[in-house]
Amino acid sequence: MTNKEAFDSDKVDNLVTQGGAFALNISQLQTDPLARTKWESTLEDQGTLVDFGTTTTRALVPIWELCDDFSRAVALKAEFEELNKAEGNKWPVEKYVTDIVFLTDPIGNDSNTIKSNVPPGYILVDVDLNPGYQKRDGYYSPYGGRIYMAYLLGDNPNNAITDLFMEYSTVKKEPETKKTTHNGHYATYWRLPGDLNLNAPAPKKDRDNFIYLWATKDKTLPPIKEIQIVLEDPDMEYTSLNNVCWQNSKEPADANRGTGDTQSVYIKFHR
Protein backbone atom coordinates (compact mmCIF):
# COMPACT_ATOMS: atom_id res chain seq x y z
CA MET A 1 0.00 0.00 0.00
CA THR A 2 1.39 3.40 -0.98
CA ASN A 3 -1.34 5.71 0.28
CA LYS A 4 -4.36 5.87 2.58
CA GLU A 5 -6.83 5.79 -0.31
CA ALA A 6 -5.47 2.46 -1.50
CA PHE A 7 -5.57 1.11 2.05
CA ASP A 8 -9.16 2.24 2.61
CA SER A 9 -10.27 0.63 -0.64
CA ASP A 10 -8.85 -2.78 0.32
CA LYS A 11 -9.36 -2.98 4.09
CA VAL A 12 -12.06 -5.14 5.68
CA ASP A 13 -13.80 -3.89 8.83
CA ASN A 14 -15.29 -6.25 11.36
CA LEU A 15 -17.00 -5.71 14.70
CA VAL A 16 -18.01 -8.16 17.42
CA THR A 17 -19.94 -6.99 20.49
CA GLN A 18 -20.68 -8.75 23.76
CA GLY A 19 -23.73 -8.03 25.89
CA GLY A 20 -26.47 -5.51 25.39
CA ALA A 21 -30.02 -5.97 24.18
CA PHE A 22 -28.91 -6.58 20.60
CA ALA A 23 -25.79 -7.38 18.59
CA LEU A 24 -24.07 -4.43 16.98
CA ASN A 25 -22.40 -4.72 13.59
CA ILE A 26 -20.46 -2.51 11.18
CA SER A 27 -23.38 -1.84 8.85
CA GLN A 28 -25.49 -0.52 11.73
CA LEU A 29 -22.74 1.92 12.69
CA GLN A 30 -22.43 3.10 9.12
CA THR A 31 -26.15 3.61 8.53
CA ASP A 32 -27.31 4.79 11.96
CA PRO A 33 -25.27 7.50 13.75
CA LEU A 34 -27.09 6.68 17.00
CA ALA A 35 -26.58 2.89 16.83
CA ARG A 36 -23.67 2.88 19.26
CA THR A 37 -25.48 5.15 21.72
CA LYS A 38 -28.58 2.95 21.60
CA TRP A 39 -26.52 -0.19 22.21
CA GLU A 40 -24.54 1.36 25.07
CA SER A 41 -27.76 2.42 26.80
CA THR A 42 -28.73 -1.27 27.21
CA LEU A 43 -25.47 -2.42 28.80
CA GLU A 44 -26.33 -1.48 32.36
CA ASP A 45 -29.21 -3.96 32.45
CA GLN A 46 -27.81 -6.52 30.01
CA GLY A 47 -24.07 -6.33 30.36
CA THR A 48 -21.70 -9.24 29.80
CA LEU A 49 -18.37 -9.76 31.51
CA VAL A 50 -15.48 -10.04 29.05
CA ASP A 51 -12.39 -11.88 30.31
CA PHE A 52 -9.09 -10.91 28.72
CA GLY A 53 -7.09 -13.32 30.88
CA THR A 54 -5.94 -16.86 30.24
CA THR A 55 -7.94 -20.04 30.79
CA THR A 56 -6.76 -20.14 34.39
CA THR A 57 -7.55 -16.56 35.40
CA ARG A 58 -10.75 -14.74 36.28
CA ALA A 59 -11.90 -11.39 35.00
CA LEU A 60 -12.87 -10.20 38.48
CA VAL A 61 -10.75 -10.85 41.56
CA PRO A 62 -11.97 -10.20 45.13
CA ILE A 63 -10.16 -7.19 46.56
CA TRP A 64 -8.96 -9.14 49.61
CA GLU A 65 -6.93 -11.44 47.34
CA LEU A 66 -4.93 -8.40 46.23
CA CYS A 67 -4.10 -7.40 49.80
CA ASP A 68 -0.55 -8.15 51.00
CA ASP A 69 -1.51 -7.75 54.66
CA PHE A 70 -3.14 -11.00 55.81
CA SER A 71 -5.06 -9.38 58.68
CA ARG A 72 -6.37 -6.69 56.35
CA ALA A 73 -7.37 -9.33 53.78
CA VAL A 74 -9.34 -11.26 56.41
CA ALA A 75 -11.08 -8.07 57.52
CA LEU A 76 -12.01 -7.10 53.95
CA LYS A 77 -13.40 -10.56 53.23
CA ALA A 78 -15.42 -10.57 56.45
CA GLU A 79 -16.81 -7.13 55.64
CA PHE A 80 -17.86 -8.28 52.18
CA GLU A 81 -19.55 -11.39 53.57
CA GLU A 82 -21.45 -9.31 56.12
CA LEU A 83 -22.59 -6.84 53.45
CA ASN A 84 -23.48 -9.64 51.05
CA LYS A 85 -25.56 -11.37 53.72
CA ALA A 86 -27.39 -8.13 54.48
CA GLU A 87 -28.15 -7.75 50.77
CA GLY A 88 -29.58 -11.26 50.52
CA ASN A 89 -26.45 -12.83 48.98
CA LYS A 90 -26.89 -10.85 45.77
CA TRP A 91 -23.19 -11.31 44.96
CA PRO A 92 -22.61 -15.08 45.12
CA VAL A 93 -19.01 -16.13 45.72
CA GLU A 94 -17.76 -18.90 43.47
CA LYS A 95 -16.58 -22.03 45.27
CA TYR A 96 -13.78 -24.41 44.31
CA VAL A 97 -12.76 -27.93 45.34
CA THR A 98 -9.82 -27.58 47.73
CA ASP A 99 -9.57 -31.07 49.23
CA ILE A 100 -10.72 -34.65 48.61
CA VAL A 101 -10.95 -37.44 51.17
CA PHE A 102 -12.04 -41.07 51.00
CA LEU A 103 -14.11 -42.65 53.77
CA THR A 104 -13.27 -46.34 53.82
CA ASP A 105 -14.40 -49.36 55.79
CA PRO A 106 -12.70 -52.65 54.90
CA ILE A 107 -15.25 -54.65 56.91
CA GLY A 108 -18.26 -53.32 55.03
CA ASN A 109 -20.40 -51.95 57.84
CA ASP A 110 -23.69 -50.23 57.19
CA SER A 111 -23.12 -47.35 54.79
CA ASN A 112 -24.75 -44.86 57.16
CA THR A 113 -22.05 -45.61 59.73
CA ILE A 114 -19.33 -44.70 57.24
CA LYS A 115 -21.09 -41.61 55.93
CA SER A 116 -21.53 -40.29 59.45
CA ASN A 117 -17.75 -39.79 59.54
CA VAL A 118 -17.72 -37.10 56.83
CA PRO A 119 -15.45 -34.29 58.10
CA PRO A 120 -17.25 -31.05 59.02
CA GLY A 121 -17.84 -28.83 56.02
CA TYR A 122 -17.14 -31.55 53.44
CA ILE A 123 -19.68 -32.53 50.78
CA LEU A 124 -20.42 -36.25 50.56
CA VAL A 125 -20.79 -37.84 47.12
CA ASP A 126 -23.37 -40.43 48.12
CA VAL A 127 -22.29 -43.27 45.82
CA ASP A 128 -20.27 -46.28 46.98
CA LEU A 129 -17.03 -46.41 44.98
CA ASN A 130 -16.72 -50.12 45.81
CA PRO A 131 -20.19 -51.47 44.92
CA GLY A 132 -19.21 -55.13 44.63
CA TYR A 133 -19.89 -57.97 42.26
CA GLN A 134 -23.14 -58.69 40.44
CA LYS A 135 -25.26 -61.58 41.60
CA ARG A 136 -27.55 -63.61 39.35
CA ASP A 137 -30.63 -61.82 40.65
CA GLY A 138 -29.21 -58.50 39.49
CA TYR A 139 -28.27 -57.11 42.88
CA TYR A 140 -24.81 -56.02 43.91
CA SER A 141 -23.09 -57.21 47.04
CA PRO A 142 -20.13 -55.46 48.71
CA TYR A 143 -16.79 -57.22 48.84
CA GLY A 144 -16.62 -56.50 52.54
CA GLY A 145 -15.37 -52.97 51.97
CA ARG A 146 -17.06 -49.67 51.23
CA ILE A 147 -15.58 -46.41 49.93
CA TYR A 148 -17.19 -42.99 49.80
CA MET A 149 -15.73 -39.70 48.60
CA ALA A 150 -16.16 -36.28 50.18
CA TYR A 151 -14.75 -32.96 49.06
CA LEU A 152 -14.29 -29.52 50.56
CA LEU A 153 -15.22 -26.26 48.85
CA GLY A 154 -13.43 -22.96 49.36
CA ASP A 155 -13.57 -19.52 47.76
CA ASN A 156 -9.83 -19.11 47.15
CA PRO A 157 -8.97 -20.29 43.61
CA ASN A 158 -5.27 -20.33 44.49
CA ASN A 159 -5.96 -23.26 46.81
CA ALA A 160 -8.16 -25.14 44.35
CA ILE A 161 -7.59 -28.56 42.80
CA THR A 162 -7.28 -28.09 39.05
CA ASP A 163 -6.86 -31.59 37.62
CA LEU A 164 -7.35 -35.28 38.42
CA PHE A 165 -6.28 -38.59 36.92
CA MET A 166 -6.38 -42.26 37.93
CA GLU A 167 -3.58 -44.78 38.22
CA TYR A 168 -3.89 -48.55 37.79
CA SER A 169 -1.13 -50.54 39.47
CA THR A 170 -0.27 -54.17 40.07
CA VAL A 171 1.50 -53.27 43.32
CA LYS A 172 0.32 -51.42 46.39
CA LYS A 173 1.57 -47.83 46.59
CA GLU A 174 1.79 -45.16 49.26
CA PRO A 175 0.91 -41.45 48.98
CA GLU A 176 3.47 -39.60 46.85
CA THR A 177 4.03 -36.15 45.36
CA LYS A 178 5.93 -35.65 42.12
CA LYS A 179 6.15 -33.70 38.88
CA THR A 180 4.45 -35.58 36.09
CA THR A 181 2.28 -35.09 33.01
CA HIS A 182 -1.34 -35.82 32.26
CA ASN A 183 -2.70 -35.21 28.77
CA GLY A 184 -0.22 -32.46 28.02
CA HIS A 185 -0.27 -30.74 31.42
CA TYR A 186 3.01 -30.88 33.35
CA ALA A 187 2.40 -30.21 37.03
CA THR A 188 3.04 -31.33 40.58
CA TYR A 189 0.51 -34.07 41.31
CA TRP A 190 0.03 -36.08 44.47
CA ARG A 191 -1.35 -39.58 44.94
CA LEU A 192 -4.24 -39.53 47.40
CA PRO A 193 -4.17 -42.15 50.16
CA GLY A 194 -6.61 -44.99 49.69
CA ASP A 195 -6.87 -47.87 47.22
CA LEU A 196 -10.15 -47.57 45.32
CA ASN A 197 -10.18 -51.36 44.84
CA LEU A 198 -10.29 -51.92 48.59
CA ASN A 199 -10.50 -55.67 49.33
CA ALA A 200 -11.53 -56.36 45.74
CA PRO A 201 -10.52 -59.84 44.52
CA ALA A 202 -8.81 -60.11 41.17
CA PRO A 203 -10.50 -62.77 39.00
CA LYS A 204 -8.85 -66.21 39.00
CA LYS A 205 -5.63 -65.04 40.64
CA ASP A 206 -4.20 -63.44 43.72
CA ARG A 207 -5.01 -59.81 44.39
CA ASP A 208 -2.76 -57.65 42.21
CA ASN A 209 -4.79 -54.65 41.09
CA PHE A 210 -4.79 -51.31 42.86
CA ILE A 211 -6.34 -48.01 41.77
CA TYR A 212 -5.37 -44.56 43.02
CA LEU A 213 -6.56 -41.01 42.40
CA TRP A 214 -4.03 -38.24 41.71
CA ALA A 215 -4.65 -34.49 42.02
CA THR A 216 -2.85 -31.21 41.44
CA LYS A 217 -3.34 -27.59 42.46
CA ASP A 218 -0.98 -26.18 39.85
CA LYS A 219 -2.55 -23.47 37.70
CA THR A 220 -2.22 -25.32 34.39
CA LEU A 221 -6.02 -25.62 34.16
CA PRO A 222 -9.04 -23.80 35.64
CA PRO A 223 -10.12 -24.82 39.15
CA ILE A 224 -12.51 -27.71 39.72
CA LYS A 225 -15.88 -26.73 41.23
CA GLU A 226 -17.84 -29.98 41.56
CA ILE A 227 -17.33 -33.75 41.69
CA GLN A 228 -19.86 -36.50 40.96
CA ILE A 229 -19.75 -40.30 40.68
CA VAL A 230 -21.71 -42.37 38.14
CA LEU A 231 -22.20 -46.11 37.73
CA GLU A 232 -21.95 -48.32 34.64
CA ASP A 233 -21.88 -45.74 31.83
CA PRO A 234 -19.91 -42.48 32.28
CA ASP A 235 -22.01 -40.76 29.62
CA MET A 236 -25.41 -41.54 31.12
CA GLU A 237 -25.38 -38.85 33.83
CA TYR A 238 -23.79 -35.43 34.29
CA THR A 239 -22.99 -35.31 30.59
CA SER A 240 -21.60 -31.78 30.83
CA LEU A 241 -18.95 -32.87 33.33
CA ASN A 242 -15.45 -34.12 32.50
CA ASN A 243 -14.45 -37.72 33.13
CA VAL A 244 -11.48 -38.54 35.32
CA CYS A 245 -9.28 -40.55 32.94
CA TRP A 246 -6.30 -42.83 33.23
CA GLN A 247 -3.03 -40.93 33.20
CA ASN A 248 -2.18 -39.60 29.73
CA SER A 249 -5.30 -41.19 28.27
CA LYS A 250 -8.73 -39.99 27.16
CA GLU A 251 -10.33 -43.21 28.41
CA PRO A 252 -12.65 -42.69 31.41
CA ALA A 253 -11.14 -44.48 34.40
CA ASP A 254 -13.25 -47.28 35.87
CA ALA A 255 -12.56 -47.32 39.61
CA ASN A 256 -13.46 -51.04 39.64
CA ARG A 257 -11.18 -52.05 36.79
CA GLY A 258 -9.66 -55.51 37.00
CA THR A 259 -11.99 -56.94 39.61
CA GLY A 260 -13.96 -59.33 37.44
CA ASP A 261 -17.74 -59.20 37.10
CA THR A 262 -18.26 -55.86 38.83
CA GLN A 263 -20.20 -52.66 38.46
CA SER A 264 -18.21 -49.94 36.71
CA VAL A 265 -17.65 -46.72 38.66
CA TYR A 266 -16.58 -43.38 37.18
CA ILE A 267 -15.61 -40.08 38.79
CA LYS A 268 -16.62 -36.89 36.97
CA PHE A 269 -15.87 -33.23 37.64
CA HIS A 270 -16.84 -29.74 36.55
CA ARG A 271 -14.54 -26.75 36.10
pTM, entire model: 0.67
- SS3 assignment, position 35: helix
pLDDT above 60: residue 144: no
* Domain map (residue ranges) of the chain: 13-48, 59-93, 96-270
What are the φ and ψ backbone dihedral angles of 69, each rounded to 5 degrees? -85, 115
Pick 15 or 214 by higher pLDDT: 214
What does the pLDDT read at residue 158?
86
**Segments of 133-234 assigned E as strands:** 133-134, 140-141, 146-154, 163-169, 176-182, 185-191, 210-216, 226-231
Lowest mean pLDDT, pick from 67-71, 78-82, 137-141, 255-259: 137-141
What does the pLDDT read at residue 155?
82
Give how far Cα 262 sits from Cα of 3, 207, 265, Å.
Answer: 75, 15, 9
Pick 12 or 83 by higher pLDDT: 83
Per-residue pLDDT of 66-81, as tens digits, reads 888 888 888 888 888 8
- SS3 assignment, position 267: strand
Lowest mean pLDDT, pick from 35-39, 124-128, 137-141, 246-250: 137-141
Give how far Cα 63 sits from Cα of 47, 77, 223, Å.
Answer: 21, 8, 19
What does the pLDDT read at residue 49?
57
Q: Which residues contact 3 (CB under 8 A, 6 or more apart)?
A: none
CATH level 3 topology of 96-270: Vitelline Membrane Outer Layer Protein I, subunit A (2.100.10)
* Band (262; pLDDT cuts 50, 70, 90): low
pLDDT above 50: residue 184: yes
Q: Which residues contact 200 (CB under 8 A, 6 or more apart)?
A: 130, 143, 145, 207, 209, 256, 259, 262
Give how far Cα 213 sits from Cα of 65, 117, 118, 163, 247, Å.
Answer: 30, 20, 19, 11, 10
